[in-house]
A and B are shown apart, each in its own frame.
Chain A
């Protein structure tokens, strides 16, 4: 009788103990498992769901899922395709989500030309859905200028952004600067500072801060070129080393990511490895 009572207490305790042990073992194994974003729903399914009362909430849930994955120290490069699919899905479900455009620009635009183009298509939808949000044409213009080397398209978008409100008229000036001779580095620096200010995430801000430092070094060389040109009646040196030592103490050293490309009279700061190789 006594043994029976003991068995009624010990056996459940043993089972609970085994369950707790197994739970912690499984937790440890899950933490080392490679985490990838699950693929999104098929197009037709989300098109139907996207027409229900819950479409905005579904987009918000996907946004949280991607944000947790992105900020969780996971291998982003391995899941860029899935991330891009999620962003396209969110865009279809709720094109009026503002935070989503910031996240897409921060997470996807720098991953390669294909992904920059996907980002720009998403931003095009945002231009129509949110016609008073200046960051959207600003981001799209930045992508054309910085990743796709299309300054003319970039300038068009900046001009569009400058029409949204009187306080953004300076963007029109930035567009003109971009297209002017010698204006590429100035425009790039102004633009990068704007992108730095618009980002919230620490890692993204650090990335833009590092690029800003490189552009500031390039500006020093640009200013030295302009001083040389004004002193010599409009003619530019054949090579940058001609600026040393009168206009510059020495030519600045750039990180592995950037290099100066001098095609008299134009000076460009080009990026060697700012993104994944073109597909």
Chain B
């Protein structure tokens, strides 16, 4: 465990040294603050638009972090030989996977926490000024549950990037595959929905196949609680399922992906 935490600490501190990470953080903060200038176009939807905008910025920033920094940090090819120097030390490949994943997760969470707190303060500042007509409801509890939902999505994507990196050499191919994975996760529910309208036998077997694929490419919209931030209705009534269910499902998914990653790293020839 000490080696895992030690590696996580190295990855975390290394990330803090990167100007790219700070630059991304700064740009995301600027977008969060200056994006408010466009809110004049909205009247009755003001509260919802502000919170949707802030969470979308956090999501974009998280995706950029994963695609352009995290993948670079975990890739192994001729240009990225950090893995060699780390595995030359007395650390197993499983510990390497867990330590890297932990370090990048903590870095991502710190980055997102900064954005989340800034967005929260902005919303608290705007709400009394907008008045009840334009911003009647804001739920702090739902805001932070939505934030946690977003972090679960990003950590799942990070774990998938780690899995792809275990199998494929090179940062750019891993980035493309991670992007393709995200698009499949977005598109699959749309295809399933359109098939539900047909009732023939062929489409039933196709529906079962798609259901199976949905287990591999989950629908992350189940962790999107943005609509609840400006509503006092319970999350269960908004989502149509208990709140613990999507978190547990994605949490287990992350664990399975990490297991698979460790398995592949144990068997792959890195050099």
**Cα-based distance from A100 to B48 in the complex (angstroms):** 13
Closest-CB distance, B21 to chain A (whole angstroms): 21
Given contacts A63-B41, A99-B42, A200-B43, contact A53 B49 (CB under 8 A): no
Residues of A within 8 A of B59 (CB): 53-54
Given contacts A96-B227, A98-B44, contact A57 B53 (CB under 8 A): yes
Given contacts A51-B189, A53-B153, A60-B42, contact A97 B48 (CB under 8 A): yes
Q: Which of A51, A96, A102 contacts B187 (CB 8 A)?
A: A51
Q: Which of A52, A57, A97, A200 contacts B186 (CB 8 A)?
A: A52
Residue of B nearest to A133 (CB): B44
**Cα-based distance from A102 to B153 in the complex (angstroms):** 34
**Cα-based distance from A48 to B182 in the complex (angstroms):** 11
**Cα-based distance from A49 to B183 in the complex (angstroms):** 8
Q: Which of B45, B52, B182 contacts A99 (CB 8 A)?
A: B45
Contact with A along B183-219 (1 / 0, CB 8 A): 1001101100000000000000000000000000001
Tell yes or no: A47 within 8 A of B by CB.
yes
Residues 82-134 (chain A) with a chain B CB within 8 angstroms = 96-100, 102
Kindly name the residue among B38, B43, B48, B49 whose own CB sees the greatest number of chain A CB atoms within 10 A.
B49
B224 contacts A48, CB within 8 Å? Answer: no
**Cα-based distance from A98 to B55 in the complex (angstroms):** 19
A51 contacts B190, CB within 8 Å? Answer: yes
Closest-CB distance, A129 to chain B (whole angstroms): 10
Given contacts A60-B49, A96-B227, contact A54 B56 (CB under 8 A): yes
Per DSSP, are chain A's interface residues mostly helix, strand or loop, or mixed? helix
B187 contacts A48, CB within 8 Å? Answer: yes
Given contacts A54-B56, A60-B52, contact A48 B183 (CB under 8 A): yes
Closest-CB distance, B32 to chain A (whole angstroms): 12
Tell yes or no: A190 within 8 A of B by CB.
no
Per DSSP, are chain B's interface residues mostly helix, strand or loop, or mixed? helix
Closest-CB distance, B195 to chain A (whole angstroms): 13
**Cα-based distance from A67 to B219 in the complex (angstroms):** 33
Tell yes or no: B60 within 8 A of A by CB.
yes
Residue of B nearest to A94 (CB): B52
**Cα-based distance from A63 to B55 in the complex (angstroms):** 18
Tell yes or no: A169 within 8 A of B by CB.
no
Closest-CB distance, B58 to chain A (whole angstroms): 9
**Cα-based distance from A48 to B220 in the complex (angstroms):** 13
**Cα-based distance from A56 to B60 in the complex (angstroms):** 13
Residue of A nearest to B43 (CB): A99
Tell yes or no: B82 within 8 A of A by CB.
no
Tell yes or no: B226 within 8 A of A by CB.
yes
Residues of A within 8 A of B52 (CB): 56-57, 60
Closest-CB distance, A24 to chain B (whole angstroms): 25
Given contacts A53-B56, A54-B56, A54-B60, contact A99 B186 (CB under 8 A): no
**Cα-based distance from A68 to B42 in the complex (angstroms):** 12
Given contacts A52-B186, A53-B220, contact A60 B53 (CB under 8 A): yes
Residue of B nearest to A66 (CB): B41
Given contacts A51-B221, A99-B45, contact A64 B227 (CB under 8 A): no
Residues of B within 8 A of A51 (CB): 186-187, 189-190, 219, 221
Closest-CB distance, A71 to chain B (whole angstroms): 9
Q: Which of A52, A53, A67, A96 contacts B55 (CB 8 A)?
A: A53
A48 contacts B38, CB within 8 Å? Answer: no
Tell yes or no: B101 within 8 A of A by CB.
no
**Cα-based distance from A55 to B255 in the complex (angstroms):** 28
Residue of A nearest to B56 (CB): A57
Kindly name the residue among A51, A67, A96, A102 whose own CB sees the greatest number of chain B CB atoms within 10 A.
A51
Residues of A within 8 A of B226 (CB): 56
Residues of B within 8 A of A100 (CB): 45
Residue of A nearest to B153 (CB): A53
**Cα-based distance from A54 to B52 in the complex (angstroms):** 8
A96 contacts B48, CB within 8 Å? Answer: yes
Residues of A within 8 A of B49 (CB): 56, 60, 97
A selection of 20 A-B contacts at a CB cut-off of 8 Å is A48-B183, A51-B186, A51-B187, A51-B189, A53-B153, A53-B224, A54-B60, A57-B52, A57-B56, A60-B42, A60-B52, A63-B41, A64-B38, A68-B41, A96-B48, A97-B48, A98-B44, A99-B43, A102-B44, A200-B43
Apart from A48-B183, A98-B45: 9 A-B pairs, beta carbons within 8 A: A47-B190, A48-B187, A49-B186, A53-B56, A54-B60, A56-B49, A60-B52, A64-B41, A99-B43
**Interface of A with B (CB < 8 Å)?**
47-54, 56-57, 60, 63-64, 67-68, 96-100, 102, 200
**Interface of B with A (CB < 8 Å)?**
38, 41-45, 48-49, 52-53, 55-56, 59-60, 150, 153, 182-183, 186-187, 189-190, 219-221, 224, 226-227
